[in-house]
Structures are given as structure tokens and as C-alpha cells.
A and B are shown apart, each in its own frame.
Chain A
């Protein structure tokens, strides 16, 4: 007897509800749309006297950050607290992992502390998937896992908040030309953005980068590749800048930050080639003067701070949907 191969999406339960959020890749369009639709009413909660709703009251959300992050950890923490969850932050690189505890031992220990949700950031691609798989294999699939960024693989909530931002300003995905600019090679954000944009039906997704900062075969993800930024920005509706990931740079991929800025930094001159009503996005943290000029970052077309605000609502929506999905 041949073993039964489980081809179901590991993120969805038997009812097709989101059980974990590990990657945007492979999620059906209606699931993405449902997340964005659900996020909309959560933006209003932030404007109330009491910025909290009781959905996750009594639940424990563990922020497991094996890699440093201030913004993502903070926005997940705010999102969980606005859902009334108890939030426990663990910076593992200063904790047990430094003493040699394995990833799954850490997860087991926190599960034994009645965790209901893990928000995982890890330098290794696949770490959140490994935890989700381990929980399922040990009969604890009532614990939900949210990927808060793993290696070069995925950063699904960033991809979703970017989609929310685009939909907020452009209303509809079906007529857009969108350019993703910068260090695509090292960027989990870019991968999540590309999967989300193509799934949501954006007709033209471009990536703009020097050849050294593009993964091989990136065209197979359904994007048009440009090495010349001016050419790539022509007529776009949305410019999605990526951070130059200095900490992930090995070897001579770049001449110098100054040279990079000259060719791939978003300046007012280059932005003028996009549509006049184009919006400029950046996942943060920004390297001003490296990938983006200060006058663009602070300019009228930038929606970088609204991205942060929408990010809280999108993370609330994801956690509320997961918390309500019964295994």
C-alpha cells in the first residue's frame, strides 16, 4: 500500500478555514480577500475610546522572535493586545536557544504553558512551518502559528498589509501595474508581495533590481524583470520599495551604497516617470539615501506610515480568524 500523500494546504483546516498563516503562496484568492475584508472594520477599533475588542480574551499569544525586529514584533503585540489576548514576548537569541535548546523544544515548552498562538520570526526559511507540522503531529493543532518572517521565504502579514494599502488607495487590483524595487534576492517581503499580487489578479507585476540582487528564475513567479529602474518605473501605479538588506549581504553584490542609490534609489526624478497618482510604499525600516530619497519618503505620494497603521488591523484580522478556526 502506498502512503497517502496529503496535498491539502497545511494552512487550511478541513473546513477550508485558515488554521495557520505560514505563506501567501498557494492560498486561494478568496482567502486573501476575506482577510482584507476582515481587516477593514478593525481599522475603526483604533479610533475608539477603548481600543480593544474581546475576541481573544483569555488567550495567550507568544511572540517568538529568533531574529531581531522592533516594528513587526511591536505591531503584532499591539494587534494581539487590541484583541484582548495576553502577549508574551520572547527574544530567543538572548534566551534558551543561546543555551542550546532546539526550536521544537522551545515550542513544546511554551505549548506546555497553554499557548494558544505562536507568532514566529526566524532567520531560517521554514521554521514556522516546522513548528506547525510538529504541533499537528503531536495532536496540538489547536495552537495556531503565524509566520512573522522566516529567512528569505515569506513574510505573509507584510504582504497582506501591503495588499490592504494598495486596495485602500487604488480600490481594485485588476488594472494595476506595480513595481517592486530593490533587493529581491534576500527579501521574504518581495516573495510574499509577488504571490499576493499575482493571486489577487494584478495584470503586471514588475521587479526592478540589479542582476546580482535577483534570484535566478524570478520570472517564473509571474513578474517582468527590469534592470533599468527608469524603464521599469514608467507608467506604474504603485512603487513598492524594498530595504537594502545590509545584514544579509555576503560578498560583492553591490559596488557601494552610494552607487546603489544612483542607480536604484527612488528619487523625485525617477518617481516622476510613474503615473502622477502613483503611491510609494516601503516595508521599513528605511535606509534614507540608500534605497529612497528623504524627499520621496516624506513626500505626498508616500503611504509608508499608513502601511504601519493598516498593518495592525491586518494582523488583528489574521489573529482573529485563526483564533476562531477550530481544528
Chain B
């Protein structure tokens, strides 16, 4: 299976979102770490006025009682008023949907958004919750033993790498 080209997917994702976002009203929230990188790129590509937020879902994960607290948790930062906002949650790869659920739970602790959408670069299948992306330029099917990891080079270029678990 060819590994998807992350840079091309960012362009495609921005094109898919452009007709549906209002640069004056829409705000992005990236999920650490890959989602934050993509949100920064989309922010510029779409010319959004509101600075994007970043969320780390470590405190909201549903596997805490099995796996404990995730090491390396980062601060979440939402630099805009969530009440009434049009928010697009941004992540790199959509898989089980559990991270997105955790992110939505966390977001609602900041306020009540008017609308929440989901943008991802790729959907690898394997959903365990009724969650679907609003914007997704690439769909693929990966076995459980593999994961797609987004990496950032020194020059800021993003790329995917296939990891055998």
C-alpha cells in the first residue's frame, strides 16, 4: 500500500473546507501533536482570523483506568470564547473515534459551541464509536498491527510513516 502524501492531503483538506468555513467566525482546535501542526497549516491556508486552539486529551481518555495517566501530557490552550463558536476539530488520522470523543468532552468544559466539525487528513477505518469526519481527503484500510504516524521535518514539511506495532 502506498503511504499517503501528507502535504498533498493538507492542500486537499484546505480545498474541501474552504467553501464551508467563515474566516471571521470559524476556529480550529488541533489535537496534540499532529493535529496541532495541521491546524497551523490550515489556519494560514484558509486565512482564519481566530487563533487556533490546541487540545491534549490525556485527562479525558477513556482508557485511564486500564492504562493510567498518559506520560507527557501537555496543556490544552483554547485562546477564544468557545460559547457560540463554529469549531473544527483537527486531527491527523481518524481511527477508533475515542480521541475525538475525548476532545469533544474536553471542548464542552470550555463552553457550548454553536457547531463542531471534524477535519482529518486520513481515515484508516476501525471505528469503535459512531463518529464520522466532516472533512477527510483520504480513506484507507489498515490492519490493527499497523499505525500511520505523522512526522514533521526540520523545514516544517509533514509526512506519514507506517509503523508496525
Contact = CB atoms under 8 A, between A and B. Distances in A.
Interface string B102-118: 00011001110000000
Contact of A55 (B59, B66, B77): B59
Contacts of B60: 53-54
B68 A326 contact: yes
B63 to A, nearest CB: 10
Contacts of A321: 68-69
A319 to B, nearest CB: 10
B73 A41 contact: yes
A54 B105 contact: yes
Interface in B69-97: 69, 71-77, 82
A38 B59 CA distance: 11
A28 to B, nearest CB: 15
B141 interface: no
B75 A43 contact: yes
B72 A53 contact: no
Nearest to A326: B68
Contacts, number: 53
B68 A34 contact: no
A17 interface: yes
B64 A55 contact: yes
Contacts of B58: 41
A325 to B, nearest CB: 6
Interface residues of A, number: 23
B76 A52 contact: no
A324 B65 contact: yes
Residue in B82, B109, B110 whose Cβ sees the most chain A Cβ within 10 Å: B109
Contact of B59 (A34, A43, A45, A326): A45
B123 interface: no
A262 B67 CA distance: 54
Nearest to A83: B59
A44 interface: yes
B77 A44 contact: yes
A41 B64 contact: no
A41 B75 contact: yes
A286 B109 CA distance: 36
Contacts of A202: none
Interface in A50-68: 50, 52-55
Interface of B: 56, 58-60, 64-69, 71-77, 82, 105-106, 109-111
Interface of A: 17, 34, 37-38, 40-45, 48-50, 52-55, 320-321, 323-326
Given A40-B75, A55-B69, A325-B68, 8 more contacts: A41-B59, A49-B111, A50-B109, A55-B59, A320-B69, A321-B69, A323-B69, A324-B65
